[in-house]
Amino acid sequence: MYKSVDGGDTWQERNQGLGEEWVYSIAINPVSPNTLYAATHTAGVYKSVDGAANWSAVNNGVLDLSTRSLVIDPDNPQKVLVGTWHNWGVFRTTNGGVSWSQVSVGLSGVKIFRLEMDPSNSQIIYASTWRTGVYKTVNGGDVWISSGLWPDFVYDVAVDPDTNSNVFVGTAGDGVYKSSNAGGNWSRSDTGLKATYVTSLVLDSDSPLILYASIYGGGVYKSTNRGETWAPMNSGLEDKWVHSISMAPDNPLTLYAATDSSGMYVSFDGGGSWNSANLGFPSFSLNSTASKFPFNHLLESEYVDGGLLEEYALDVKEFPSFSFGGTNLSVQTIEIVQNTPSTIYIGTNGDGVYKSLNSGSNWNATGHSTGYVNGLAIDPTNPSIIFAGVRDTDGSMLKTFDGGTNWIFMNTGLNGQTIYAVEFDPSTPSKLIAGSKDGVYLSTNSGNSWSSTSLSGVAVYSLEINSSDSNLIYAGTAEGFYISSDGGSNWELEAGRLVNPIVQSLELDYNGSRIYLGSQGSGSYRRNGMLP
């Protein structure tokens, strides 16, 4: 837990009594703002009565300590509801957390991700759930009924404060839906959104025509017509992976964005521009986890797409992070030299490229020691030649001929696009492909020049070339999984049904007969058989 008392300019750690628990949700007493509650990953609900200086667990009666979301009744702040993850539904306290009782009638087998209280009627509460759509109560939690959108993973719900029959939801992979009859019926309402993983929704408290949506992999979008159309608002934010956005209660033009690996951002002009607001936070090192989100929610051997695509149940385990010369780095990508596996290169978020000659026991900075490195590719015939896809004011593609000592920009034709991935053609090393914020680029002359392909207008986060047939290229994008059968000239969207179409990582087995997909928020997938 961190706290700022100056609008996000500086932050201070506030974990006394809380330990190192992951905190998913905070609820602040509207009458007594020094009283607040925190929902944690494995330790239930914590409460502070001194403005987060000290915390104590308040779980008497909470049968599932994997909590996700909290709401406080503004008419009776002693009444708090918490949603849980392991199918126990919702628990409610009417005495400020002294004791809790289960209020889950109608929620059998439902994993609660977020709760949202109708601002005009605290008896009406919506629950966004994992792959069971939206649930609703009209009696403060006593009884819940399905409100549709099954089997979507609904990430967030927003209720119009002026007209509470207008309700909006953000989904994992299915965009934004709107209901004009308080959840009776839903229709898509996301024209203009570049990506479909909508992590949070916020309505302007002064003008319900204005909505904001945080997009995982697409920054923040804004609608000025109740969600009919959307436009990006990412100046200074770029295409960060935004988990959630919040609006200052006293000024709807002040917005805060919580990002995946870049901390907090603040906008004072309704999303027109964003600035980093991270002073006081530590330098984080990202630990490797089995899935993108720390949820034990994946179903084993769930077959879709005619049985060819299966989702894996993964035990979420956290592995130790490396420490590089005493400085914690946020590691974005790893590449191992094929014939000398003790030589490893890593790309970092903000600290350039590092190199190890002894399987990671020791690391040294290369000649590129600043900036964000999203992708690395090592020439299969000459490991001293490496390309790095970067986010830099001077360009987006770097190349070294000497194993990282010196780097030069190779940007001709890339149009200043942020590069997320780069790959060598294993059969023709002079040919490379690059995934960018605006599709796939191709070079046939060792990176001296690049040209765009027909896959454009979409962020491409990962690429793989089939080693058995280099004309087969696979792309993981913000809109799904694409395949090219002609070396990257033409692309087709694969029809396999992914729970969430944002494909961040791809990996082929050694003979190209099986491909693995890592998605944003819905785990890992495997596709068997030569593709297409």
Q: Which tens digits make up the pLDDT trace of 113-129? A: 999 999 999 999 999 99
Residues 190 and 90 in one domain: yes
SS3 annotation, 289-353: ECCCCCCCCCCCCEEECCCCEEECCCCCCECCCCCECCECCCEEEEEECCCCCCCEEEEEEEECE
Mean of the pLDDT values across residues 214-237? 90
Query: Is the predicted pLDDT of residue 314 greater than 80, yes or no?
Result: no
% the chain with pLDDT above 70: 86
Range of the domain at 158: 72-276
Query: Is the predicted pLDDT of residue 286 greater than 50, yes or no?
Result: no
Q: Is residue 39 part of a domain?
A: no
Give Cα 249 to chain centroid, integer Å: 25
Residues 177 and 90 in one domain: yes
Q: Which tens digits make up the pLDDT trace of 101-112? A: 999 999 998 999
DSSP state of 271: T
Residues 210 and 327 in one domain: no
Mean of the pLDDT values across residues 202-208? 88
Q: Which tens digits make up the pLDDT trace of 18-55? A: 977 889 999 999 999 999 999 998 899 999 999 999 99
**In this structure, what CATH number is given to the domain that contains residue 174?**
2.130.10.10
Residue 23 burial (CB < 10 Å; 0-12/13-18/19+)?
middle
Mean of the pLDDT values across residues 380-408? 89
Q: Is residue 33 part of a domain?
A: no
Residues 372 and 421 in one domain: yes
Residues 220 and 80 in one domain: yes
Q: Which tens digits make up the pLDDT trace of 139-181? A: 999 999 999 998 889 999 999 999 999 999 999 878 899 999 9
Query: Which is more confident, 173 or 426?
Result: 426
Q: Is residue 83 part of a domain?
A: yes
Residues 171 and 271 in one domain: yes
| pLDDT for the residue 500 | 55
| pLDDT for the residue 321 | 45
- Residue 421 tokens, joined: 């991935």
How many structural domains does the chain have?
Answer: 2
Query: Is the predicted pLDDT of residue 138 greater than 80, yes or no?
Result: yes
Query: Which is more confident, 368 or 318?
Result: 368
Q: Is residue 15 part of a domain?
A: no
User: 104 φ, ψ to 5°?
Assistant: -130, 25
Residues 341 and 451 in one domain: yes
Mean of the pLDDT values across residues 64-69? 94
b/e burial code for range 99-137 (CB count within 10 A of at least 16 → b): ebebbbeebeebbbbbbbbbbeebebbbbbbbbbbbbbb
Q: Is residue 282 part of a domain?
A: no
Q: Is residue 41 part of a domain?
A: no
Query: Which is more confident, 66 or 517?
Result: 66
Dist. CA 304–CA 285, nearest whole Å: 36
Residues 337 and 460 in one domain: yes
| pLDDT for the residue 423 | 93
The pLDDT confidence band at residue 297, using thresholds 50, 70 and 90, is very low
Q: Which of 61-65, 172-176, 475-479, 524-528 has the highest mean pLDDT?
A: 61-65
pTM, full prediction: 0.60
- Residue finishing a domain among 242, 276, 310: 276
Query: Is the predicted pLDDT of residue 266 greater than 80, yes or no?
Result: yes
Which residues, listed in sequence order, are joined to residue 355 by a DSSP beta bridge?
345, 364
Q: Is residue 292 part of a domain?
A: no
Average pLDDT of the chain to the nearest whole number: 84
- Residue 394 tokens, joined: 């001077």
The pLDDT confidence band at residue 499, using thresholds 50, 70 and 90, is low
The pLDDT confidence band at residue 521, using thresholds 50, 70 and 90, is low
| pLDDT for the residue 432 | 95
- Residue 521 tokens, joined: 């928020």
Cα 440 to Cα 301, 382, 393: the distances in Å are 32, 24, 20
| pLDDT for the residue 497 | 52
| pLDDT for the residue 491 | 92
Q: Is residue 421 part of a domain?
A: yes
Residues 333 and 376 in one domain: yes
Q: Is the dihedral of CA 237, 239, 244, 250 positive or negative?
A: positive
Residues 252 and 129 in one domain: yes
Residues 263 and 331 in one domain: no
Residues 119 and 217 in one domain: yes
% the chain with pLDDT above 90: 52
